[in-house]
Amino acid sequence: MPISSEQKLEVAASRDALQPTRRAVAPELEAILYEPIAVLDHGFVRVVDYMGDDSAIVQAARVSYGKGTKQVSQDRGLIMYLMRHWHTTPFEMCEIKLHVKLPIFVARQWIRHRTANVNEYSARYSIMDKEFYIPRIEHLSPQSKQNHQGRSEDGLTELEAARVLDILKTDSQNVYSHYEELMNVDAQGNVIDEGKTGIARELARMNLTLNYYTQWYWKIDLHNLMHFLMLRADAHAQYEIRVYADAMIDILNKWCPLAYEAFTEYRMGSAHVSKTGIEVVKRMIGGEKVTQETSGLTKREWDEMGAKFGFCDL
Amino acid sequence: MPISSEQKLEVAASRDALQPTRRAVAPELEAILYEPIAVLDHGFVRVVDYMGDDSAIVQAARVSYGKGTKQVSQDRGLIMYLMRHWHTTPFEMCEIKLHVKLPIFVARQWIRHRTANVNEYSARYSIMDKEFYIPRIEHLSPQSKQNHQGRSEDGLTELEAARVLDILKTDSQNVYSHYEELMNVDAQGNVIDEGKTGIARELARMNLTLNYYTQWYWKIDLHNLMHFLMLRADAHAQYEIRVYADAMIDILNKWCPLAYEAFTEYRMGSAHVSKTGIEVVKRMIGGEKVTQETSGLTKREWDEMGAKFGFCDL
Amino acid sequence: MPISSEQKLEVAASRDALQPTRRAVAPELEAILYEPIAVLDHGFVRVVDYMGDDSAIVQAARVSYGKGTKQVSQDRGLIMYLMRHWHTTPFEMCEIKLHVKLPIFVARQWIRHRTANVNEYSARYSIMDKEFYIPRIEHLSPQSKQNHQGRSEDGLTELEAARVLDILKTDSQNVYSHYEELMNVDAQGNVIDEGKTGIARELARMNLTLNYYTQWYWKIDLHNLMHFLMLRADAHAQYEIRVYADAMIDILNKWCPLAYEAFTEYRMGSAHVSKTGIEVVKRMIGGEKVTQETSGLTKREWDEMGAKFGFCDL
Amino acid sequence: MPISSEQKLEVAASRDALQPTRRAVAPELEAILYEPIAVLDHGFVRVVDYMGDDSAIVQAARVSYGKGTKQVSQDRGLIMYLMRHWHTTPFEMCEIKLHVKLPIFVARQWIRHRTANVNEYSARYSIMDKEFYIPRIEHLSPQSKQNHQGRSEDGLTELEAARVLDILKTDSQNVYSHYEELMNVDAQGNVIDEGKTGIARELARMNLTLNYYTQWYWKIDLHNLMHFLMLRADAHAQYEIRVYADAMIDILNKWCPLAYEAFTEYRMGSAHVSKTGIEVVKRMIGGEKVTQETSGLTKREWDEMGAKFGFCDL
């Protein structure tokens, strides 16, 4: 259950209140406004507010590029053009605000994107909820041999997996009961033993593990959102942040469908080719049989490029 | 006339279209949405979009500070508290987008505030309008003797003022007709002489003077907007940017009246007192007669502080 | 021991290599360059590089303010003036790079300052060291009753404190041995059991507690450093980040002694007085007896202001 | 003469003073430190300070990626890898400070790059120098028909060019003498007519044209510098800013030769290929004859891509 019953009532109340506005409205996004989209075992993403839509991108671009590009039929072409040529400022004219619940180790990666506004739940003021992330068995993978940072394709035996889950659950529960004991306050905020003195919340929190959930309001413009999504929806990103990125790509699609389309064409599915790589493609197109040895590329680059352009086995 | 008749129609059309939304709505701001507010002789500010209101500040703060501060009656107190203690992140959760028309020399000061998004009219693509700023006589002031950057209180003679206005107008008109001649294109975009070749717009624009008007879409969060306003509505700011700041303070009042109140109390009318200045106040409150010589302050600081706290003539 | 013996050799080697430069040099900072300054039980701060000194601030200011302020004797006055009037851009012209080792829960506060560059030790690539923070007994304080976030002055009994330390130590050690078991790799990177498969580092790290140490390179300009220090050396900041701020204030003093002096006068020891607060001071200076009731200030503001200006018991 | 004789003496003095430092030193950059590199008719770029070199990038990357990549022989490979995979944070660990003199219309484009620190010569405090940019005849080109913003290849007739230069020179001189008259102060700061009152500098400056030179100190990290250079050294950038970018690329080469090499391979000479574009390349490599019609690309994209990969005339 990613959201408390109290929060559920708030969400329902917010969703019911319809007011007239003169601003741009994104109907598909309105339809899911405030609704939590479940991610991982206790996490969620929900859209709390937004500003602008596809037409706001176009409007801003036309301030820059002036008259003569006014037909509505050209909106799609203009957005595709802007994305292709990295004219990023018009995309900055849209803004979105999300409420996200996520494990602390995911939050630590996420926050590295600096061009955003954040208000995080404060464990100095408030008691952390007893909610921690436990991976599903199919996501328990060993260290990758290739890329030094990710996971391999291979899995663990059933017995090994069971032991992993047992450790994670037991330790998570153990540190939380100690967290309560350290504060002498339980999860509901009640003093445990009136005759004792606990330590401050800001201190006790250090006993929690990194799989505990935190939450924040996170506000970002469309350009920087897409930059985040490009990096974090990538196959090399850690699974536990990728699922958040995937959920947000769906949100993007509901919010600005044309920008989403351009994002898919020119960012997510695209390739960056080096100077030497361009020469390789030219030679191949010209009919030449190029090998890694004759390409001028390192083995690693050759493989990376081959995987993108399908010539690995040529 | 700060806005073209074509733009007027657009504004009217945008204003008429009311749609339902589940988002927070600021009714007083809706009432002026899209409407240009005249500034200087040809400039304007108009609100094109916004996100959030006072309640969004409170909502974000409560994510951080947790439960137990939920009464609506406390919204005002919470916003005052946040502003007083420089807890700035909840104010970043509101965003506003303005369309501004302003002289280039004002735009050059304005753009120094980096934490904003901008799409400016491009003089590489488009022909600059023939609109330039001419000050009113009462704003023609000589260089200040005191602060080395502003204007003095004294004025010019009527004759001197007339000569100043004449220079400004004549030169402005002169450089524009040459701008057209350089491009071989007139203000409406028509070729002047089919038999001639003009130079590119990106080059010809260099012949325009800095009082020519440009325009941009400018998007900023509430925290950074207030920082901008604090600096640019200050008495030491140049008059020509101050009038824009003043117009935006009115907008702030319509948008987030509680944040506006806190801004007035803790920013616009406030004073910053140095370590030594605190000692001076303490001694004065204690009944001691302090002079600049015994204060530990320089003459300049003493005067600045005396002006704020009214003890200059003690 | 905050630094490994291997690192010690690197530090010594770096410190020995002297090369000539035409750049500005800060001799007192050179004297401690690369040397770790111990903070908390296993943490440190060390200066790895820097750019500019007090003269760089002055030089940048003089580009803006032009000729006629050239005497070297005026450097101090100019820096005091810039700080007093919040002319912040000249301070941005100096830059410093620090290597910091700090507990993760401190790192999470620290990273909220976005205007800095960071490279953090990656627990996706590398195995975390077995180093965790255990507070000293005198820092084990209960939750503050007043400010809802900090610690109170009162302490725990000897027995209570012993129990707290025991929990923290035991859990920290426990989660680390499980961290090793989860990866099937020990702290030195050796496989524990060749017959078993462990999980990836990026997953296993989630079992560590927030008092584990991480490290990063952190680069920031002087203006933003001072903003960080003002907030984090404040009495309301958590003790565990305040000690880092204190260490960096010493560094600031060695790097830019004039900026340090101005920082002490106009930031650290200063007060911000509201519009209503100014009126209160004026009346008090005028000899009037003002009480909280007649002040126009709330009880809380009155107390905060009284504490600063010493009239609480008037 | 891009630099005054007074400044020349300062430069010479700065260059003579050699001091020992323990910091990283870039010898080729030291060799040109403080020396103005002439750009356009009166502009320049000169390096005033810097922090870090290629080894600082490597050092920061190794904090993140940990042990086991320590051989010096791998520095080049690591920098190439970081650049190829857009791991940008290690490049942010180097910083450079430039003193630039540039026409105002160029400064207006330049300042759009927000992630930098700037101190500009203030025309509120100081009198602008009588220096304005006049293009060379070979740079007087008409508006491009293709890209709507740049210049075409075609030139003007000798007569047309002469007229253009005459307008630019005459107007530039005219507005400056009026600038002096408006202030009643000449270029040297002397009052022109003791019996008259002029207007403040902040007002008079508005009569200057956009080809007048301004100057600033500009400080930026290596990552953001390369982003600036990629955009501004591009063939689509305006000639007058491109020449500054070209000068800075030479500086980059002297400062961080390995980063320069990676920049050349993966940024300047590279291509970005869309999802559909990848399919086109795959089909062509596979021997298929693809035309624009069968490619799935628009005419414009087909041409852009064909120009990069040399299949326009296939």
Residue D145 within a domain: yes
Per-residue model confidence as pLDDT tens digits over D84-94: 999 999 999 99
Residue D10 within a domain: yes
Residue A226 within a domain: yes
Q: What span, in angstroms and rounded, lies between the C-alpha atoms of D43 and D104?
A: 11
At residue D314, the pLDDT reads 47
Q: What span, in angstroms and rounded, lies between the C-alpha atoms of C253 and C259?
A: 8
Residue A117 within a domain: yes
Identify the residue among A199, A231, A243 best suited for mutation to test binding to C, counting C beta carbons within 10 A and taking the highest.
A199
- Of C49, C63, C126, nearest to D52 by CB-CB distance is C49
Report whether pLDDT(D205) > 60. yes
A230, A301: one domain:
no
Per-residue model confidence as pLDDT tens digits over D286-309: 999 999 999 999 999 999 999 999
Q: What span, in angstroms and rounded, lies between the C-alpha atoms of A132 and A129?
A: 9
Contact assessment for residue B82 and residue B91, using Cβ atoms and an 8 Å cutoff? yes
Residue A150 within a domain: no
Identify the residue among A108, A270, A304 best suited for mutation to test binding to D, counting D beta carbons within 10 A and taking the highest.
A270
**Which chain A residues are within 8 Å of D77, Cβ to Cβ?**
298
Phi, psi of B246 (to 5 degrees): -60, -45
At residue B129, the pLDDT reads 96
At residue C11, the pLDDT reads 76
Catalytic residue among D62, D136, D232, D300: D232
A196, A239: one domain:
no
Question: Rounded mean pLDDT of D65-94?
Answer: 82
Chain B CB within 8 Å of residue D121 CB: no
- Of D21, D23, D93, nearest to C217 by CB-CB distance is D93
Q: What span, in angstroms and rounded, lies between the C-alpha atoms of A149 and A151?
A: 7
Phi, psi of B275 (to 5 degrees): -55, -50
Backbone conformation region of residue A133, classed left if phi is above 0, alpha if psi is from -120 to 50, else beta: beta
Q: What span, in angstroms and rounded, lies between the C-alpha atoms of B309 and B150?
A: 23
At residue D58, the pLDDT reads 94
- DSSP labels for D2-25? -S-HHHHHHHHHHHH--EEESS--
Report whether pLDDT(C225) > 50. yes
CA distances from C78 to A56, A288, B147, C258 (A): 45, 68, 14, 10
Q: What is the edge-to-edge ordering of all strands in the sheet holding D95-103?
A: D37-39, D43-51, D95-103, D213-221, D117-120
- With tokens 């596809």, the residue in question is A54
Contact assessment for residue B2 and residue B43, using Cβ atoms and an 8 Å cutoff? yes
- Cross-chain Cβ contact C265/B274 below 8 Å: yes
- Subunit partners of chain C (3 or more CB pairs within 8 A): A, B, D
At residue A313, the pLDDT reads 56
Whether D267 is catalytic is no
- Cross-chain Cβ contact A112/C103 below 8 Å: no
CB count in 10 Å sphere of residue A294: 11
D40, D188: one domain:
no
Range of the domain at D144: 134-210
At residue B154, the pLDDT reads 72
Identify the residue among A34, A202, A214, A217 best suited for mutation to test binding to B, counting B beta carbons within 10 A and taking the highest.
A217
Contact assessment for residue B214 and residue D108, using Cβ atoms and an 8 Å cutoff? no
pLDDT band at D13 (very low <50, low <70, confident <90, very high): confident
Residue D314 within a domain: no
- Of A14, A23, A64, nearest to B122 by CB-CB distance is A64
Q: What span, in angstroms and rounded, lies between the C-alpha atoms of A201 and D147?
A: 60
Question: Rounded mean pLDDT of B29-58?
Answer: 96
**Which chain B residues are within 8 Å of D174, Cβ to Cβ?**
171, 174
B265, B279: one domain:
no
Spatial CA neighbour of D177 closest among D209, D148, D143? D209
Residues of B labelled as active-site residues: 232
What's the structural domain count of chain B?
2
D167, D246: one domain:
no
Contact assessment for residue A11 and residue A99, using Cβ atoms and an 8 Å cutoff? no
CA distances from B70 to A99, A215, B281, C135, C148 (A): 18, 18, 38, 34, 15
Q: Beta partners for B220?
A: B96
Q: Number of C-alpha atoms within 13 angstroms, CB side, residue A139?
A: 17
Report whether pLDDT(C67) > 70. no
ipTM over 0.95: no
Q: Beta partners for D191?
A: D185
Over pLDDT 70: what percentage of chain B? 93
Of D175, D210, D245, the last residue of a domain is D210
- Cross-chain Cβ contact A272/D277 below 8 Å: no
- Cross-chain Cβ contact A148/D284 below 8 Å: no
Residue C314 within a domain: no
Q: What span, in angstroms and rounded, lies between the C-alpha atoms of C206 and C179?
A: 9
Per the model's pLDDT, the better-predicted residue between B71 and C122 turns out to be C122
- At D188 the three-state DSSP class reads coil
Question: Rounded mean pLDDT of B149-166?
Answer: 86
Report whether pLDDT(B73) > 70. no
Q: What span, in angstroms and rounded, lies between the C-alpha atoms of B189 and B172?
A: 19
- At B216 the three-state DSSP class reads strand
CB count in 10 Å sphere of residue D116: 18
Phi, psi of B219 (to 5 degrees): -120, 135
C41, C183: one domain:
no
Q: Give the CATH number, domain containing residue D231.
A: 3.30.1360.170
Rounded to the nearest 10 degrees, what angle do helices C299-309 and C275-285 cross at? 50
Q: How far is CA C132 from the centre of its chain?
A: 19
A62, A128: one domain:
yes
User: In terms of C-beta density within 10 A (0-12 exposed, 13-18 middle, 19 or more buried), how is residue B4 classed?
Assistant: exposed
Q: What span, in angstroms and rounded, lies between the C-alpha atoms of A20 and A23?
A: 9
Report whether pLDDT(C1) > 50. no
Question: Rounded mean pLDDT of B94-120?
Answer: 97
At residue A68, the pLDDT reads 46
Residue A146 within a domain: no
Contacts of C288 (CB under 8 A, 6+ apart): none
For chain C positions 244-303, those within 8 Å of chain A (CB to CB) are none
- Cross-chain Cβ contact B272/C270 below 8 Å: yes
Extract the tokens encoding D265.
């391979």
C108, C23: one domain:
yes
Spatial CA neighbour of D186 closest among D202, D207, D201? D201
Per the model's pLDDT, the better-predicted residue between C313 and B209 turns out to be B209
User: In terms of C-beta density within 10 A (0-12 exposed, 13-18 middle, 19 or more buried), how is residue D46 classed?
Assistant: buried
Per the model's pLDDT, the better-predicted residue between A62 and D109 turns out to be D109
Poorest-pLDDT segment among A254-268, D152-166, D237-251, D262-276: D152-166
D143, D180: one domain:
yes
Q: What span, in angstroms and rounded, lies between the C-alpha atoms of D51 and B110?
A: 30
Poorest-pLDDT segment among A78-87, A141-150, C212-221, C280-289: A141-150
Per-residue model confidence as pLDDT tens digits over B189-209: 999 999 999 999 999 999 999
Over pLDDT 70: what percentage of chain D? 93
Query: Within chain A, which residues score under 50 in pLDDT?
Result: 1, 68-69, 72, 314
Q: Beta partners for C43?
A: C39
At residue C66, the pLDDT reads 62
Per-residue model confidence as pLDDT tens digits over B231-264: 999 999 999 999 999 999 999 999 999 999 999 9
b/e sequence D228-252, b meaning 16+ C-beta within 10 Å: bbbbbbeeebbbbbbbbbebbbebb
D220, D191: one domain:
no
At residue A220, the pLDDT reads 98
A95, A240: one domain:
yes
Q: How far is CA D259 from the centre of its chain?
A: 17
**Which chain D residues are within 8 Å of C219, Cβ to Cβ?**
92-93, 95, 221
D3, D42: one domain:
yes
Backbone conformation region of residue C86, classed left if phi is above 0, alpha if psi is from -120 to 50, else beta: left
Pairing of strands C43-51, C37-39: antiparallel
Spatial CA neighbour of B220 closest among A117, A87, C220, A256? A117
Question: Rounded mean pLDDT of B172-197?
Answer: 96
Contact assessment for residue B285 and residue C306, using Cβ atoms and an 8 Å cutoff? no
